[in-house]
Amino acid sequence: MRALWFHLMPYQDLPDNFKDEHPSVWVSIDRHLFDSQRGHELYNEYMDELEFAAAQGFDAICVNEHHANAYGLMPSPNLIAASLARRTSDAAICVMGNSVALYNPPTRVAEEMAMIDCISGGRLIAGFPVGTAMDTCYAYGQNPGLLRPRYYEAIDLITRAWESEEPFAFNGRFNQQRYVNVWPRPMQKPRPPIWVPGSGSIETWDMCAEKDFLYAYLSYFGWQASAGVMKGFWNRMKELGKEPNPFHAGFLQFVGVAETRKEAEKLYARHADYFYNRCLHLDSGFSSPPGYTTEESIRARLGSQIAAAAGAKGGGPQTIAGDYSKTKFFDEGHVIIGSPDEVADKLREVATQLNVGNILLLMHFGDMPRELTEYNTSLFAKKVLPQIKGLFEDEWEHKWWPKPIAPGQRQQPAPVTAFAS
Amino acid sequence: MSELVERSVVTPTGSARVWEKGVGNPIGFFAGLGGLPAWLPVLDRLAERHRVVAPSLPGFPGGANFERLDDIFDWSLAAIDLVMEAGLIGADLIGPSVGGALAAEVAALRPDLVRKLVLIAPYGLFDETAPIADVFACKPGEQSGLLTRDPQAYDAYRTRPNSANEMDWTVMQVRAEMAAARILWPLGETGLRKRLSRIAQPTLIIWGAQDRVIPPSYAAKFAEAVAAETKIVTIPDAGHKVEFDAPDAVAAAIAEFLAC
């Protein structure tokens, strides 16, 4: 079992009346709410926390990309990852990821990730999400109906740029480059492992099976929300003749650990509330631009809604926009809390049930202060991690994990010295 | 007045529905946002004196598959093909909203195809001092109120007839949104400004005084950019879907313009 310590980097000072007085956390977020002095503090604090997690023994530290978003301060996760690569030595660096359709040409992603892979000595996990509608279509103006074709083409271009032995010409529907020749080359050969965060579409599962990418389902609504999707994923893998290797899949989980469950509730409740009731306060108009969801998926969704109207069980559209004021984050499994033993038991149970060997842990959430984040992280590292670490490791090989150079070969940053005046 | 007739034409993009009614000189009609899920009263008014021919643009109800139409060049060619295949060579051409943006392209690129041009609150330009509203970022249930002065009547117009399948009807409307977004996203200029100076045909520009999507100030910008003589008619008490909100006034303005 691999434990990845994931930071969203939320802005912490959204006001108490945010939900009532402001239209959205994303796209139209009020720019006056951003204080650059706080930005300075938060970036440094959050990078410290990621480095702290790496030093505590988590298998990877993980960053991601959002735009015009007050709960995700990383328009460029690559900047953060480059810095983390210098200040950590063993943990994998998971960039989860770059929304590759946004980059023109996408070769830029191949170059920057090759740089991170070289700087880190081959510790990079390359994540390729389609990107949310808010990030890609609204904040970045991408045509919603062309986003997916661009995404698939960009992945094709990037992987060829990494794997090709020679410079080549790329003549795509959206990208044309007479000369593709990525320098530097990635350290991992032929390329870093590719992880794909998906939303449950069959199309994405098939791509992961065909190209041997890891599939991760990242939901803010915990393991219960992930269960149905992971079941669908494994059914599809079986149909395609893939072995049920749990390391082929990942899921996201908020976790808060303390000496007792009661104590955990006391420590983490307000920060979970900040996340669900301020960070997820999204203008619902931004959640579904026409064309972002394919006609095929809409038909499938409508089918289940029509069935639901007829009394059968069905699912609604997937959007994070909603009212969480009455949500019981802990009882409903959005956030797993408890004593170290309780959390370990739950995670083992969930990982086994979902058959998932990679867990992306959000142990900082909302406006959690540094001390509590470090407490959560170190208690987990000391008392939970040893209990879950061995899961699946004897039965299965992890084929989607970075293959860095030997520790002895890795460069360490030289101490900074000043010349005497 | 004759009955509504449906036929289909085959274009390089695919086969498309053509609705037709009336006798007289032909008028082509490219529908606006949402397309034509059903026939419109304004077209009945026009059909009293003309043969109104409404070919469906790709992706809109009755239209061909639009998946391979990537840019305004592809869309303009598809619109030109429709004009030719629907038998509208040399006819007058009317286009509201997104249909207006393409009608203007046809008139600019193929002046031989269009006699007189009528643009009803067309897309295609963008004024940063008076930005176009985002019809693609409406909360559920809000879009009709943005488009028209009478959202209930507009919702009723779009309601599924008993004869239509529920899934197909819904998908048809979603697909029309997708097609409009494919053409217009992210709502900036489509490049039409450069080509408006090629429009030498007499052009009528109609705008709803209460248009909450594209401000009425855009009428003058179109008039300024079109090479030919233009006439602007502003219809009071009408929103972006002027032809829906004020069918009599719109039909009268068009009839007068086409007659002279």
CB-nearest to A284 from B140, B180, B182 is B140
Establish, for the pair of chains A and B, how many residue pairs have beta carbons separated by less than 8 Å. 63
Q: Do B182 and A146 touch (CB under 8 A)?
A: yes
Q: Nearest by CB to B137, which of A173, A286, A295?
A: A286
B138 vs A145: CB contact, 8 Å cut-off?
A: no
Q: Do B174 and A141 touch (CB under 8 A)?
A: no
Asked if B181 lies within 8 A of A290 by C-beta distance, the reply is: yes
Say what the pLDDT of residue A326 is: 73
Which residue range is the domain that position A252 belongs to? 2-293+328-409
What residues in A contact B172, CB-CB < 8 Å?
Answer: none
List pLDDT tens digits, range A24-72: 999 999 999 999 999 999 999 999 999 999 999 999 999 999 999 999 9
Q: Do A289 and B186 touch (CB under 8 A)?
A: no
Q: What does pTM read for this prediction?
A: 0.95
B133 to chain A, closest Cα gap in Å: 13
- Are B5 and B20 a contacting pair, CB within 8 Å? yes
Angle between helices B97-109 and B166-184 (to 10 degrees): 50
Distance from CA of A253 to the nearest CA of B (A): 29
CA-nearest residue to B181 within chain A is A290
Residue type, A231: K
pLDDT of residue A314: 35
CA distance A143 to chain B (A): 6
Q: Which of A26, A28, A136, A288 to mutate to test the interface with B (most CBs of B within 10 A)?
A: A288
Dist CA B215 CA A289 (whole Å): 22
- CB contact set of B83 (below 8 Å; sequence gap of 6+): B28, B55, B89, B91, B93, B106, B110, B113, B114
Q: Using 70 as the pLDDT threshold, list the residues of chain B that sit under it.
A: 1
CB contact under 8 A, A146 and B174: no
Residues paired with A170 in a beta bridge: A177
Contact B167 A146 (CB under 8 A): no
Q: How far apart are CA A367 and CA B190, in angstroms?
A: 43
Residue A150 falls within a domain, yes or no?
A: yes
Taking the CA of residue B215 as centre, how many other CA atoms within 13 Å lie in the half-sphere pointing to its CB?
A: 10
CB contact under 8 A, A143 and B185: yes
The set of long-range contacts for B136-143, using a CB threshold of 8 Å and a minimum separation of 24, is: B136/A144, B136/A289, B136/A290, B136/B177, B136/B181, B136/B185, B136/B187, B137/A138, B137/A283, B137/A285, B137/A286, B137/A289, B138/A285, B139/A283, B139/A284, B139/A285, B140/A284, B142/A285
Per-residue confidence (pLDDT) for residue A318, from 0 to 100 = 45
Contacts of residue B74 in chain A, CB cutoff 8 Å? Answer: none
Task: Give the rounded distance of the alpha carbon of A32 from its chain centre.
Answer: 27
Cα–chain-centroid distance for residue A361? 10
The CATH number given to whatever domain includes residue A229 is 3.20.20.30
Is residue A305, in this structure, part of any structural domain at all?
Answer: no
B5-259: what fold?
Rossmann fold (3.40.50)
Q: Report the residue of B178, B183, B184, B190 to disrupt the A interface, i.e. the one with the largest count of A CBs within 10 Å.
A: B178
C-beta of residue A342 within 8 angstroms of C-beta of residue A349 = no
Which residue ranges make up each domain of chain B? 5-259
Q: Which residues does chain A have within 8 Å of residue B174's beta carbon, measured at their own beta carbons?
A: 290, 295, 298
Residue A112 lies in a domain: yes
CA–CA separation, A147 vs A137, rounded Å? 8
Answer yes or no: do A289 and B174 touch at CB < 8 A: no
Domain count, chain A: 1
A316 touches chain B (CB under 8 A): no
Please report the pLDDT score of residue A343 as a whole number: 98
Cβ-based contacts of B188 with chain A (< 8 Å): 141
Nearest C-alpha in A relative to B187: A141
Residues A124 and A186: beta-carbon distance below 8 Å: yes
Instruction: Enumerate residue ranges in chain A where pLDDT < 50.
Output: 312-318
Residue A40: partners with Cβ closer than 8 Å, 6 or more residues away: none
Task: Answer yes or no: is A333 within a domain.
Answer: yes
- Euclidean distance between CA atoms A160 and B31, whole angstroms: 44
Residue A301 within a domain = no
CA–CA separation, A75 and A135 (whole Å): 9
Determine whether A247 is exposed, middle or buried from the number of CB atoms within 10 Å of its CB (0-12, 13-18, 19+): buried
- Name the percent of chain A in helix, strand, coil, to the closest 5: 45, 15, 45
For chain B, the first-to-last Cα distance in angstroms comes to 23
Q: Which residue intervals of chain B are DSSP H helices?
A: 41-47, 72-85, 97-109, 143-147, 151-157, 166-184, 192-196, 218-225, 242-245, 247-259
Give the three-state DSSP class for B91.
Answer: strand
Q: What angle do CA B40, B42, B48 make, to 5 degrees?
A: 110
The reply to whether residue A291 touches residue B178, judged by beta carbons under 8 angstroms, is: yes
Note whether B178 contacts A285, CB cutoff 8 Å: no
**Which residues are CB-contacts of B97 (< 8 A; sequence separation ≥ 6)?**
B32, B33, B120, B121, B122, B123, B213, B214, B240, B241
